[in-house]
Amino acid sequence: MYLLINHPAYNALTLKLVPLLEDTRSRRLKEERTTVLWQRLVVVDQALHLYISYLPGNSLYPSLADLFFHPQIQAIFHQAPPAELLTPDNFAVSPQLALLWQKDVERQLCEIVLSALPGFPVHRGILDLAAISFKCLECHCRGPDLTYPRVLMHECARVSEEELEGQSEEDEIVRSMSNSVRWNAKGNIVFDLQVYRTTSAILETVHLHPSVTTRTDMDALGLCFMCISCNDPHVGRPTMTWSRLVCVPFFSFSVVSGHRTLKRQRHRFFICLQNRKVKFKATTLYNLAGKQRRIL
């Protein structure tokens, strides 16, 4: 027995039924895709760990999110039928793929530098310059730990425990599974302009140009820095190389003529050269007891 539905009733039924069926279909497809994504993400994670296990210490490698969203991995993911069982061999990570990721992050870092320093000379070794470093807005890390190439492996640029705004559905699935995000997806890594101004002034004090002097050049010069403000009668004056000097938590820099303020602790350094000593001051955010002070 069939019930005949007239046109008005059919149209009314269609207006309510079609959106419901489309929504059901959309949710079903989303669940199926999420299931496949999770299964293959586990395989990609296994492939990444297998690659890392053969690397020497202090090697650079992409995060799970960076690897998964790489065009080569995405091509394999989308071309394989959903029912096909993939293994780590399908997503084998090669040094060439890791190098492509590194080049992409280097491009992002160069863009961060050039956006903060308009008109700065663009050249191949810009990230290796002695005055170029970055800082993290999340953990407030700065100095040598966030110079190139260490900044590539900074955890705050690769991991997020919280959902990020504007992320795609796939990005959120990857993050929810492993806390892994694409490099600097949170925008925490920024150029440290204060450190740049300070180190540039130091370099110019010893007649070196910030746009061409690299960290390797500074190490080769063998400069030694002594802080005369932190002199201790028992252990003497703190003496440091360039890499440790830029780690001093300074807030600003001025050559000997800088103005003194009561709210800031000044470190007065001597640069020990072969035939002379150059004196300068660096203002820090820390008092003698090592406690951080708020600068208004």
Condensed to tens digits (0 to 9), the pLDDT of residues 201-216 reads 888 877 889 999 998 8
| Whole-angstrom distance, CA of residue 90 vs CA of residue 95 | 15
In one-letter notation, the amino acid at residue 260 is R
Instruction: For residue 241, give the nearest of 116, 96, 144 by alpha carbon.
Output: 144
Over the stretch 153-175, which tens digit does the pLDDT of each residue have? 999 999 998 888 878 888 888 89
Over the stretch 127-139, which tens digit does the pLDDT of each residue have? 999 989 999 999 9
Q: What is the pLDDT of residue 141?
A: 86
Over the stretch 175-187, which tens digit does the pLDDT of each residue have? 988 899 999 999 9
Whether pLDDT at 292 is above 60: no
Tokens for 53, please give them.
């296990």
| Whole-angstrom distance, CA of residue 157 vs CA of residue 101 | 14
| Whole-angstrom distance, CA of residue 123 vs CA of residue 271 | 29
In one-letter notation, the amino acid at residue 81 is P
Confidence tier at 261 by pLDDT (50, 70, 90): very low
Pairing of strands 265-272, 277-284: antiparallel
What percentage of the chain exceeds 70 in pLDDT?
76
For the residues 262-289, what does the mean pLDDT come to? 42
Distances (CA, A) of 115 to 118, 185, 195: 6, 17, 16
